[in-house]
Amino acid sequence: MRCKRSWCTECATQFDGINYCVSCLALVRGTDAKSSNGLRTLSAVVVVLAVAYLAKKAVLWGVVIVAALS
């Protein structure tokens, strides 16, 4: 077991002759997928920045809407 913890055989998953728990398997999968994630991370950063800008503007729009309604 990679994390050196005790698990029952039902909870462990064997891959390449090594037993993994769910967390360890997720880490292995994560390391493997790291190389293909660069573009996705970049696009996610762009989207988050765009939504943050929109949120900043939404404060003003919200103020204008409520001021107009009251």
Q: Indicate whether 57 belongs to the interface with another protein (CB under 8 A).
A: yes
Q: Indicate whether 66 belongs to the interface with another protein (CB under 8 A).
A: yes
Cα separation, 53 vs 42, in Å, equals 17
Among 1, 2, 15, 18, binds another protein (CB under 8 A): 15
Structure tokens at 56: 């900043």
The number of residues making up the chain comes to 70
Q: Indicate whether 2 belongs to the interface with another protein (CB under 8 A).
A: no
Among 8, 9, 17, 67, binds another protein (CB under 8 A): 67
- Rounded to a whole number of angstroms, the minimum distance from the CB of residue 36 to another protein is 9
Structure tokens at 60: 């003003």
- The DSSP element (H or E) to which 52 belongs, if any, is helix 38-69
